[in-house]
Structure 1
């Protein structure tokens, strides 16, 4: 576990730096453009390259040393962030520059998640995978908690250029931690050995592996649906909060969400998650859907605080349970390819969410609840009328659709009985 903890700590520091940059750039773009659509395009460019490259990345992660993949990812992402800093220093930064650099950074980052996840399986005993997943969620939560608060202070004192340079230093720190360790390599069998020739079946192996197991396919489809709904919400959180409060309140909302994720990560790290992990996924997804629904029905700062904490607490538990399921049910030697396909398909719905969230808010839902809007005299009497209330209505719709997706997932028997019916692919003992 010592090697895993050292790597985890390096990634934690890097996540905090990236969170600073993400917050600062998001506020900068929204304030300079006033457009939800242009703001949402940052999220699109941040994820689309990773999705498109996933089949190739999965093969490479299984071929290459997984530590080398993580080093490549951190180095490329750090250089991309440095490019934004240089453009800011010379006063030439424009929105399209951010799209381009974020896309390049996403290309390198595509290697990070499958390599990190597959390496964790080799470093951590199966019985502690839930706790390791909780630690990963704890790191993400720490970033979400600290980054908005720090960014709000630093953007005034050292400005956005200084924030981005701090991010570059955190990337360097994570690189050093990776250079100090060695990763064990998985044992291969005749069935899952990665061949040295570039054959089509290598790129389709992950898909074949998943489709041969209906429970994993059902889990993948479930998360594709949930991620689409989450994508819509994630784009619109900033415009919704800024419609009712100042930017410093937005930072507080995000920090409270981070504290919820932090507590969830701590609970997951100590507890390891419920014995039946798929029921944990369903239960905490339900609590997240209810929090989204609440934020839409009663849009106000206190409700945003409560909803953010509840939602992000559940995110830690959901991701921890989901991660442990995949790590225990998929053979370590093929996890690079399987996890890459899993990532590609589960996240494939996000670009669509990012593309439609802005137009839906700007052109459909906001006009519906304008003072003279079509629904001002009906739903407007329940939620409210004016700027931001249309986005609130969209949150209500997303919350209801989330609960519908949970119902369909629970009714699908292979998914509901995944933990009991699908055998584990790794042994109980610790790995060397």
Structure 2
């Protein structure tokens, strides 16, 4: 498969996706702020998050089957367009000030359906365009773009919600979708053709093949399982950062914003390290080490004295860097270990497996914080993630992943 001029092709993808990521980050943050101010209900925030995640978790594996069958470029274009249409309908629903939350939840769920197709397709196109020895750097740049959007998005969202009604702020997401679609229309992405029927029975067969692609590769199966278990520990803590900032360190709005920004800065540093430097360390070692580093950042954050807020800031940045490097190395390992025609299914399965613990975290984080305390939750979560990293080093099939590729044999 020809991969000439891959960098030029990816420049178009990066430009369009960055604008889309930035606008989506701004809109998501503005929507959270608006819901918080309008209803002052943690329950409504949790339900809105579940509406945005649950459909993606449920249909993700089936979406992956069609991602592997259809043209992935067209999938991304139609997914971006569908999400934009849902956003336009949401602006209409919020136009007159009489908010119907059930309709807002429904439209957020529809947007999640679009994401179920878009995110795995985006990850699955990289091996079709990028030479294998450049995949880790490309993943690093992708992490950088996500990091910049996570830093600038909330600032843009705050500025927008302060000056415009929520229904007008939502148009930012539509503008981002237009940029993403336009950039995709200007490039060519190879299409992996498959000759299969469209029957429901065949869909189940294809889904089983995707699961088999994971199960038959014992190292990959262990990596998936460890990552999902780690997510069970990470997600409840991830949504408790504001609570730790307020309850343990006595912070307010400024300190909360500092923590949010510094996490994005840490992710940006992690992505920069991977994209600028040629990392010779095996990717599986990066994955395991970053689990341990992330866990340590949680543990020390939980045991810090309340007077050491700025140490907490530094630990948060370290955690963001570890998460960025882990994500890039993890995605690259999948891209290298799985055949291109199976990537849509495998990525969809992973995203679904990762989302379900997120939902559990959203449902029980409040109870966990009330029962054992936020600081203790950080410590326990940190030890869980550290244990996963250590266990990974003692799993032979996992440690054998990518030995020849990473050593250049």
Q: TM-score, normalised by structure 2?
A: 0.89
- Which residue number corresponds to residue 150 of structure 1? 156
Task: Structure 2 unaligned segments of length 5 or more: list them.
Answer: 1-6
* 404, 407, 410: which one aligns with 2:387: 404
Say yes or no: does 1:250 pair with 2:250. Answer: no
Compute the displacement of 1:247 (Å).
2.8
Change (3 A) 1:160 1:118: same
Query: 1:218-297 alignment to 2 at 5 Å?
Result: 218-243=222-247, 244-297=250-303
CA distance in 1, matches of 2:123, 2:284: 19
Q: TM-score, normalised by structure 1?
A: 0.85
- Which residue number corresponds to residue 213 of structure 2? 209
Compute the displacement of 1:97 (Å).
4.1
- Which residue number corresponds to residue 3 of structure 1? 9
- Which residue number corresponds to residue 362 of structure 2? 354
Query: 1:13-412 alignment to 2 at 5 Å?
Result: 13-93=19-99, 95-186=101-192, 193-198=194-199, 199=202, 200-243=204-247, 244-298=250-304, 301-362=309-370, 364-365=371-372, 390-412=373-395
Count of matched residue positions in the alignment of Structure 1 and Structure 2: 395
Structure 1 moving runs of 4+ over 6 Å: none
CA distance in 1, matches of 2:206, 2:111: 25
Task: Structure 1 unaligned segments of length 5 or more: list them.
Answer: 366-389
Compute the displacement of 1:93 (Å).
2.8
Compute the displacement of 1:197 (Å).
4.1
CA distance in 2, matches of 1:72, 1:303: 45
CA distance in 2, matches of 1:207, 1:273: 30
Change (3 A) 1:163 1:304: farther
Superposed CA offset, 1:44-69 (max 9, x none): 22222111112211111111100111
Structure 1 range deviating more: 8-17 or 85-94: 85-94
Compute the displacement of 1:138 (Å).
0.8
CA distance in 2, matches of 1:303, 1:88: 42
CA distance in 1, matches of 2:147, 2:12: 18
- Which residue number corresponds to residue 387 of structure 1? none
Compute the displacement of 1:339 (Å).
2.0
Superposed CA offset, 1:330-382 (max 9, x none): 111221122222322243322222222133234x23xxxxxxxxxxxxxxxxx
Superposed CA offset, 1:4-28 (max 9, x none): 2211211111111111112122233
Change (3 A) 1:161 1:399: same
Tell me if structure 1 keeps the 8 A contact 2:291–2:388: no
Change (3 A) 1:93 1:110: same
